[in-house]
Amino acid sequence: MGRFILRRFAMLIPVLVGVSLTAFLILHLAPGDPARLMAGVEASQEDVDMLRHKFGLDRPLPVQYAMFVKGLVTGELMSLRFESPAMEIILPKLKNTLILACASIVVAVVLGVTAGVLSATHRKSWIDYAATILSLFGISMPVFWWGLLLMLLFSVKLMWLPSGGMGTFRHIILPAVVLGTASTGIIARMTRSSMLDVLRQDYITTAAAKGLTRRLVVNRHALRNALIPTVTVVGLQFGQLLAGAVLTETVFTWPGIGRLLVTSILARDLPVVQAALVIIALLFVFVNLAVDILYAVLDPRIRYNG
Amino acid sequence: MADRSQGSLVARRILRNPIAVAGLAIILGYLFIAAFAPHIAPFDPTAQDLSRSFAPISAGNPMGCDEFGRDILSRIIFGARTSLIIQFFSVCIALVIGVFLGALGGYFGGRLDEAIMRVMDVLLAFPGILLALAIVAMLGPDLRNLIIAIGVYSIPQFARITRGSVISVRQNDYVTAARAIGENQSSIILRYVLPNAISPIIIQTTLRMATVLLTAAGLGFLGLGVQPPEPEWGTMLSNARMYLRSAPMVAVFPGLSIMLVVLGFNFFGDGLQDALNPRLKE
Amino acid sequence: MPVLDAENLVKLYPVRTGGLFGGRKALLRAVDGVTLSIERGETLGLVGESGSGKSTVGMLCLGLLEKTSGTIRFLDRPIEDYTGDDARIFRRKAQIVFQNPFASLNPRMIIRDIIGRVLEIHGLAHGRDIGARVGALMREVGLREDQMTRYPHEFSGGQRQRIAIARALASDPELVVLDEPTSALDVSVQAQILNLLQDIQAARGLAYLFISHNLAVIRHASTRAAVMYLGRLVETARKEAIFARPLHPYTQALLSSVPKPFVTDERMEKKIIAGDIPSPLTPPPGCRFHTRCRYSEDRCTKEEPQWREVEPGHFAACHRIGEIEESRTTNPYPEGG
Amino acid sequence: MTPPLLSVSNLTVHFHTEAGVVRALEDISFSIAPGEILGLVGETGCGKSVTASCVMRLIPTPPGRIVSGEILFDGRDILSMSDEEVRLMRGRDMAMIFQDPMSSLNPVFTTGFQVGEAIVTHEPSIAREPLRARVLDLFRKVNIADPETSVNRYPHMMSGGMKQRVMIAMALSCGPKLLIADEPTTALDVSIQAQILTLIRRLQREEGSSVLLISHDLGVIASMADRVTVMYAGSIAETARVRDLFDDPQHPYTRGLLGAIPRLDRDQGRLAVIPGTLPNLMNLPQGCKFRERCAEALPVCAEKRPALAEIRPGHEAACHARTGR
């Protein structure tokens, strides 16, 4: 087991290098002068040159990359907008986003797995059709529009819940539901199909043939196996939630990393954009690592072969 | 589908599935509207008439008017065109590059595969809309850059699906048999592997059409999509948001359009998945 | 001159057994020093249980898997020498039929193309000729010519196997490797295919390498038989000799553990080989069969038995052949565990 | 004469599929006496496995549908039992082992747990220690090496033969009166097959249970069964005591089958062949299902489906050429 985890860690190294390189290169992907891009169209040539020198944009690319990574690791990478280290701006926002994402994933897993299991065990019944259609609606709902609709209903019309900001438990309800809607649908579909797959296996017949109740066959023998692929999907969905936060946080003015990212892009605060991208990617990669390990806990075949 | 009888079997399964039929109907309606937008739309989608600002729903403006007095129905109809262009071209980019890389890695394996997959892992490490957001933020928001950004961020999905499918097909005896009768590599990939690996790619293409539209609209909503006055659903919604309390109906129709079209592709994709995957059928 | 002559064939697979950076690499000894040859018009039956490496031998002989070491001569020329244009000749003259007729035909091709591609690739027919030649091949294997525009899934398992045989025959081969050609088929269909293969061989003078786990099929179909166990040959001889007077304890025990389709008073319990087949990852030292052999003694656990000609044309690898000869009449294997 | 333990009469089962109605079983009747091994033999699609699933009432409905018939087990009609009654009977009164030991054990539970579960299901009050002892006992009984370690192993760590032993241990855990073995050795190597068959035979004698042994392999049937039923395309062709069936087969299909097997004990120039292919179960011909492949077919065979009739005591066949004019 220890070896297994170590190996997975080792496999992360090239991905981490790639992630930082991508975030770094995106800046240079832009047509024209990155210094001009940061300074804005109105800035004078002297200001641009000063900025170029200040950020080392006149140095060779590999040197710039090294500086960028160093800035990330030491936390010295400075924000253009706030004159403070980018990390100091990002980390508190990240915490807020994580709170939101965790609330959403809990909603999505509980509702999604339940709907998926019911759908699979009541195949071709009205439960299955209803769950399928609702799931597909959930997957198809544009987050920002869905947010606006719920806000219109619960904040503007009914005035039950606040329309934005962060603070009490009531503040998190709408954003968490909105953000988790698509994931609920996807987890439900995935659970359903892996459950149907498992229910066809011979060992399910074996379990029924020894006289287990239908409930035990489903909850013990089928669910345990069906959850193995679902766990991967949950991991991927966590990433989707981090990304979806960009939109949800904008709708509900939730002070998270997604909103920071958007405002930083619009304000051309590139160091913060890059650092935020790297941080989200890192988080996502580590969540997937955790999922891999969980996978091994659930599936003894991997545990011993890995 | 290369195979007649198998193709008709798939068609029959789809037509027997009410969800898939509903999806197909939505898609066809969408294509029709996008194709004939100038003939259907009652008004010029960019013609302003400030006297009709936020005009309510009426016979003349079945969806009312926006803040500049533009007819919302006409903007929705032309917006379908914009969406379709984005969907089509970005999915094409992703499909061609992704299938090529995935097939290459999956068939030959080894270091080449390892290298391709690591690059894909890096792209996948930026989840969801983020990669597209970053690319479009740097390239500048316009239709072409939007297509590139969304296309690039969809590549890894196609590459992974194709790779997985190719790997499982490659293990079939008919591929070994093809080697035994002396077929060359390219012929094996094109005649034996890809035709049999195509089902998941078709499904992915359909489902991607849905995701891509959501992403484009999301970028539009953040002000990073197609710029006004070009009619685009996400951008329309972004503007409408400012008047949410005074004129909520302006926000309803663009969102509804996005949802309906995305739903259409997801319904159809779901039906296609069932129809092409007989394992799930008894 | 034999059609195929393989000497000291070895195929090792590196296998990961976990750990950091790929972990300890172990070697799976799939085929470990196999020597065999096949003459024109002859069928060599290759029999063994799972893990014996019999299918790997077939793939090695056709160059469909790369051998680790050893030599394979096809029509008196090492197969490595068939390069460039000659590679085609080798592909044309050596063919294969697989076990599972549901996986060995491209489901997206019609029968005319499945068989016709062989003719196209090797330039054996052009344009309209292809259809006519495919038709003739289909008749040869007992199919109707008018079925050639159909897809594989429209045929039964037996018919598909006929299609696979027609494909193998299309390039007019000298050698056909039959890899469990009837194992996926029902008994009644198996009989049809076995007869067909017999007829084809008689008409074309082909050499077959017939691979099967089914001893009765091997006995029926081959002229000579070779028995494999864990990557090694244990015995080979003309079929009359090997089935009437098996010399190796493994062959003996294998023959007696096959349930026969007639009623005897003999009890099943008497005929069993004890224990599990060891993993080819960790084959036992010495004689590979010693862990399950009732005649095993100290020497068998240490020394590898030599491959020797015990009787003319009858080879075996066992330390104790002479000594166990007399006890052959009784064969009291204990129940395995 | 003792009453049979299991008697199946006039069982007819259909499957409703996308392509049409598959007539999987048609008017099947047979019985098993206490302590008897009945071999059920036939080729792919003959309905032998469906029959076994019906006896355990494990047919998924839909798509399956039991159209008519009666299955009496120990005097009780299985088809009219409540779901709960059937559940309590499964594993306790009748148990089953399957063809593929690789896939019939749940990969995420230890083998010991899975065997223990079978016991707990029917004896919910059993305590932890006696349960463990029972499981270890069962493992010893089926000759699994090192039971103390083996109970803690996951299925993928065991060989196919060992897994089949675990399946047998599970099946025997509650001392069933009837054991249904559906192709129990088909996925195994010859040498392992012999071990498993011997084990089943020994345990059957020790426990005195009846066995319904399903196989496509006439060799397995000949060496194991007391009586044999031959099935063809969803119907029974012939039933006889094992010696009668192999020494003097009556139905042309049985004869064809025996002639088509390659033999280890003698030379055959060419194998006897049953011409043609199986009829389509969705579109069965009129009259005898075997008629189109039969050398002895009479005019009547095209009109009337032959019924199973006694040719001599204990030997029945469904063939117009044998039973009546």
* pLDDT number for residue C196: 96
CA distances from A159 to A110, A153, A168 (A): 27, 8, 15
Amino acid at site C108 = R
D63/B281 Cβ within 8 A? no
Closest of B45, A67, A297 to residue D108, by C-alpha: A297
- Nearest-Å Rg of the Cα atoms of chain C is 21
Under the banding of pLDDT at 50, 70 and 90, the label for residue C331 is very low
Q: Is the pLDDT of residue A104 over 50?
A: yes
* pLDDT number for residue B3: 47
* pLDDT number for residue A146: 93
Decide the pairing of beta strands D64-73 and D6-16.
antiparallel
Q: Is the pLDDT of residue A53 over 90?
A: no
* pLDDT number for residue A178: 93
pLDDT tens-digit readout, C23-35: 566 788 899 999 9
* pLDDT number for residue C225: 96
Q: Helix (H, G, I), strand (E, B), or coil: what is residue B21?
A: helix
What's the CA gap between B235 and C140, in Å, rounded?
A: 69
Q: Is the pLDDT of residue C335 over 70?
A: no
What's the CA gap between A220 and A227, in Å, rounded?
A: 11
Q: Which residue has the tokens 């073995």?
A: D181
State the best of D14, D15, D18 to mutate against chain B, taking most chain B CBs within 10 Å: D18
* pLDDT number for residue C20: 37
Q: Is the pLDDT of residue B280 over 50?
A: no
Q: Is the pLDDT of residue A42 over 80?
A: no
User: Stretch C68-88: mean pLDDT, rounded?
Assistant: 90
User: Which residues is C5 bridged to in the sheet?
Assistant: C37, C73
Under the banding of pLDDT at 50, 70 and 90, the label for residue C280 is confident
Q: Which residue would you say has higher pLDDT here, C197 or A32?
A: C197
Phi and psi angles of residue D209, each rounded to the nearest 5 degrees, phi first:
-85, 165
Amino acid at site C63 = G
* pLDDT number for residue C186: 92
What's the CA gap between B90 and B216, in Å, rounded?
A: 10
Closest of D61, A132, A138 to residue B18, by C-alpha: A132
State the best of C17, C20, C24, C25 to mutate against chain A, taking most chain A CBs within 10 Å: C20
Q: Is the pLDDT of residue A306 over 50?
A: no
User: Stretch A49-67: mean pLDDT, rounded?
Assistant: 80
Q: What is the mean pLDDT of chain D?
A: 92
Pinpoint the alpha helices (H) of chain C: 54-61, 85-93, 111-121, 128-140, 157-169, 187-204, 215-221, 239-244, 249-257, 298-302, 321-324
Q: Which residue would you say has higher pLDDT here, D36 or B2?
A: D36
Under the banding of pLDDT at 50, 70 and 90, the label for residue C329 is very low
Q: Is the pLDDT of residue A301 over 80?
A: no
What CATH number has the domain bearing residue B153? Answer: 1.10.3720.10
Interchain CB contact of A153 with B (< 8 Å): no
Min CA distance, A118 vs chain D (Å)? Answer: 18
* pLDDT number for residue B281: 40
What's the CA gap between A273 and A261, in Å, rounded?
A: 6
> Is B221 part of a structural domain of the chain?
yes
CA distances from A251 to A103, A176, A241, A247 (A): 17, 12, 15, 6
Amino acid at site D257 = L
* pLDDT number for residue A304: 53
C contacts of D194 (beta carbons < 8 Å): 257, 259, 268, 271-273, 336
C contacts of A7 (beta carbons < 8 Å): 19-21, 23
Cα angle A148, A152, A155 (rounded to 5 degrees) comes to 115
Q: Helix (H, G, I), strand (E, B), or coil: what is residue C132?
A: helix
Q: What ipTM was assigned to the predicted interfaces of this complex?
A: 0.86
What's the CA gap between D248 and D246, in Å, rounded?
A: 6
Q: Is the pLDDT of residue C75 over 60?
A: yes
With a pLDDT cut of 70, the percent of chain D lying above it is: 99
What's the CA gap between D240 and D316, in Å, rounded?
A: 6
Q: Which residue would you say has higher pLDDT here, B110 or A27?
A: B110
CA A224 remoteness from chain centre: 25
Question: Which of B 115-144 lie inside 8 A of A, CB atoms?
Answer: 118-119, 121-123, 125-130, 133-135, 137-140
User: Stretch B11-27: mean pLDDT, rounded?
Assistant: 92
User: Stretch B171-194: mean pLDDT, rounded?
Assistant: 93
Least confident of A81-90, C300-309, D216-225, D235-244: A81-90
**Chain D: residues touching A (Cβ < 8 Å):** 56, 58, 87-92, 95-96, 98, 100, 103-109, 117-118, 121-122, 154, 156-157, 167, 170, 173
* pLDDT number for residue B5: 61
| Total domain count, chain B | 1
B118/A247 Cβ within 8 A? no
Q: Is the pLDDT of residue C41 over 50?
A: yes
Chains in contact with C, counting 3 or more C-beta pairs less than 8 Å apart as contact: A, B, D
What's the CA gap between C99 and C217, in Å, rounded?
A: 14
Closest of B94, B110, B87 to residue B215, by C-alpha: B87
User: Stretch A18-35: mean pLDDT, rounded?
Assistant: 78
With a pLDDT cut of 70, the percent of chain C lying above it is: 91
State the best of A105, A140, A186, A252 to mutate against chain B, taking most chain B CBs within 10 Å: A140
pTM for the full predicted model? 0.89
> Is B7 part of a structural domain of the chain?
no
Domain holding B105, by residue range, is: 19-35+71-275
* pLDDT number for residue C337: 33
Question: Which of B 11-40 lie inside 8 A of D, CB atoms?
Answer: 13
Min CA distance, A203 vs chain B (Å)? Answer: 17
User: Stretch A30-36: mean pLDDT, rounded?
Assistant: 69
Of A29, A142, A281, the CB nearest to B217: A142
C154/B177 Cβ within 8 A? no
User: Stretch C245-263: mean pLDDT, rounded?
Assistant: 90
Q: Is the pLDDT of residue D324 over 80?
A: no
pLDDT tens-digit readout, A144-191: 999 999 988 888 888 888 887 777 888 889 999 999 999 999 999 999
Closest of B247, B262, B270 to residue B83, by C-alpha: B262
Q: Is the pLDDT of residue A40 over 80?
A: no
Interchain CB contact of C24 with A (< 8 Å): no
Q: How many residue pairs from chains A and B have C-beta atoms closer than 8 A?
A: 150
Q: Which residue has the tokens 């100091």?
A: A88
Q: Which residue would you say has higher pLDDT here, D19 or C107?
A: C107
Interchain CB contact of B222 with A (< 8 Å): yes
User: Stretch D257-282: mean pLDDT, rounded?
Assistant: 88
C contacts of B181 (beta carbons < 8 Å): 91, 95, 117-118, 121, 167, 170-171
User: Stretch D282-288: mean pLDDT, rounded?
Assistant: 90
> Is B163 part of a structural domain of the chain?
yes
> Is B50 part of a structural domain of the chain?
no
> Is B40 part of a structural domain of the chain?
no
Residue D315 parent element (H or E): strand D315-317
pLDDT tens-digit readout, C119-148: 999 999 988 899 999 999 999 999 999 999
User: Stretch C316-324: mean pLDDT, rounded?
Assistant: 86
Interchain CB contact of C279 with A (< 8 Å): no
User: Stretch D120-138: mean pLDDT, rounded?
Assistant: 94
Q: Is the pLDDT of residue B111 over 70?
A: yes
* pLDDT number for residue A31: 65
Amino acid at site D299 = P
D contacts of A210 (beta carbons < 8 Å): 90-91, 95, 117-118, 121, 170, 173
Q: Helix (H, G, I), strand (E, B), or coil: what is residue D180?
A: strand
A contacts of B137 (beta carbons < 8 Å): 265, 273
> Is B82 part of a structural domain of the chain?
yes
A contacts of C20 (beta carbons < 8 Å): 3, 6-7, 10
Residues in contact with B217: Cβ distance below 8 Å, sequence separation at least 6, in sequence order? A142, A144, B83, B225, B232, B233, B234, B237, B258
* pLDDT number for residue C270: 60
> Is B44 part of a structural domain of the chain?
no
A contacts of C23 (beta carbons < 8 Å): 3, 7
pLDDT tens-digit readout, D1-11: 678 999 999 99
> Is B45 part of a structural domain of the chain?
no
Interchain CB contact of A200 with C (< 8 Å): no
Of B173, B182, B195, the CB nearest to C121: B182
User: Stretch C310-333: mean pLDDT, rounded?
Assistant: 73
User: Stretch D73-92: mean pLDDT, rounded?
Assistant: 93
What's the CA gap between A8 and D246, in Å, rounded?
A: 60
Q: Is the pLDDT of residue C244 over 60?
A: yes
Interchain CB contact of C118 with B (< 8 Å): yes
User: Stretch B143-168: mean pLDDT, rounded?
Assistant: 93
pLDDT tens-digit readout, B70-93: 888 989 999 999 999 999 999 999
